[in-house]
Structure 1
């Protein structure tokens, strides 16, 4: 029997959460795409272009939390722009309304809206809306990962020295210097390194087979919640230091066969410390 191209979750709650996340992501993505001034990088309407980006970021989070609260008033929230409430339903939404802020500021297409739903502490739904890519990534725990109608699957694992790996850098200068040192040591051991600027999209690109792996130190829960589920449902392994889950200390995602030597190398280089 052929698997449905776009299967509906059998659990009614998960189906509801997925539908709400998709619609919230679509609305927020449209707000950010259509509301961005063409001259944002040199905007004069505020004290700095960053003020405009911050306002868009906050507006997108308010749109998402308002929409979700309207439909599920008892759910909790954790958002980059300050949304924080425990809720009483056992469901919590983890939201990054604009992942890839600097890309957005400069008019680069690699930014996204990231929305995840946790049930009793476990991520069960993840949606990453990338408007300028015209792509919507989604996953339900145990149900696979998709972009549009296409089911996602990680690339077959190459030897580490042939792997294309993405990473990211923090805003804090001291941490950036340490991360640059790690990247410099990594490059001779890999095919090459990429720096996309959006953790959510990097994780989705691992899921889609566009990258052989990804690692980064310093992520927040909202940076990785949705993308981590999407990557895992596409067949990636995710983690941090050996035996640990992805966290702000270190996040790694890669297919089996790349994950293990990548994690070992990052541990050897001390990528988890500043």
Structure 2
């Protein structure tokens, strides 16, 4: 993924549905899976041990995947699924579904509203399309490479802010058991942004921050490390909404990068300067 735009992926195989039609069907599948999670949402799910927490997280994932995977398999029978939602790095050639069946799963278990279901199709290591559904608001965010980003069919555009000092920015931790070096880097970056930006938000999950960047509500989001499922949906949405995608030092971002930055063009350079200290 280049710094500001996606490279154009190869077209869908001859005889298959167009990517636009495929995106529409993917959005339907994501909404169906999300409705299952909404039925499971309510009281805080109590857990006394890490094992109990992991079982509860897995139960949510399995419930959503039980709806999502069969539907996506019907849409693209030859596409493979990334089995580990926490995995990063490049994928083998071909088509892959990168799913987060319960993005913000820990929030769901704590009866907090910040969670979603996401599905992103990657073709030869280029994200082609993505659909993200927020069941508690009923909103569906979609993006198609080269064709823009939308919220319930309405075009999205990133913020036109040009001053980091007037910006609302956000960050997130990539996983609960971060390496100590990454944790300290997160802390120092938050401190730097507290000096340079207007307001700093810190919470999980990453995708919901990136939806807000694409919609122009937040001016920049950054993260250190991270999985494909965390970043690919939002990266495509922000890029298609006119934002700039790079690593924290301004270099082109790929799933192999050690950092990630999505920003409105007017504050991208200032954000890189702040994060590079």
TM-score range, shorter chain: 0.7 to 0.9
For residue 97 of structure 1, report the CA deviation from its aligned partner.
1.0
* Counterpart in the other structure of 1:251: 260
CA distance in 2, matches of 1:193, 1:71: 40
Task: Report how many aligned residue pairs link the two structures.
Answer: 255
1:137 aligned counterpart, secondary structure: strand
Which residue of the partner structure matches residue 104 of structure 2? 100
CA distance in 1, matches of 2:82, 2:52: 27
Q: Which residue of 1 aligns with 2:5?
A: none
Match of 2:220 among 210, 213, 221: 213
Partner of 2:162: 158
Q: Which runs of 4+ in 1 moved over 6 A?
A: none
Q: Distance in 2 between matches of 1:80 and 1:130?
A: 22
Single out whichever of 194-203 and 175-184 deviates more from structure 2. 175-184
CA–CA distance in 2 between the matches of 1:130 and 1:239? 26
The residue number in structure 1 matching 2:208 is: 201
TM-score, length basis structure 1: 0.84
**TM-score after normalising by structure 2:** 0.83
Answer 1 or 2: higher relative contact order, Cα 8 Å, separation at least 6: 2
> Cα RMSD over matched residues?
2.6
Contact 2:170–2:200 (Cα < 8 Å) also in 1: yes
- Residue 231 of structure 1 and its aligned partner are, at CA, apart by 0.7
The alpha-carbon deviation at position 224 of structure 1 amounts to: 1.2
For residue 66 of structure 1, report the CA deviation from its aligned partner. 1.9
Matched, 1:27 2:4: no
Give the conservation status (yes or no) of the 8 Å contact 2:43–2:110. no
Q: 1:181 aligns with which of 162, 185, 188?
A: 188
1:205-226 CA distances to partner (integer Å, 9 max, x unpaired)? Answer: 0011110110011210111111
Give 1:109-128 correspondences, 5 Å limit.
109-128=113-132
Alignment of 1:53-72 (within 5 A): 53-72=57-76
- 1:137–1:204 CA contact under 8 A, matched in 2: yes
How far apart are the structure 2 equivalents of 1:148 and 1:178? 36
| 1:192 paired to 2:214 | no
State whether residues 246 and 252 of structure 1, in contact with CA within 8 Å, keep that contact through their aligned partners in structure 2: no
**Distance change >3 Å, CA 81–CA 141, structure 1 → 2:** closer
Cα 1:172–1:14 shift into 2, 3 Å? same
Distance of 1:82 and 1:155 partners within structure 2: 29
Deviations 1:222-246, CA, capped at 9 Å, x for gaps? 1111111111111111111332215
Structure 2: runs of 5 or more not aligned: 1-10
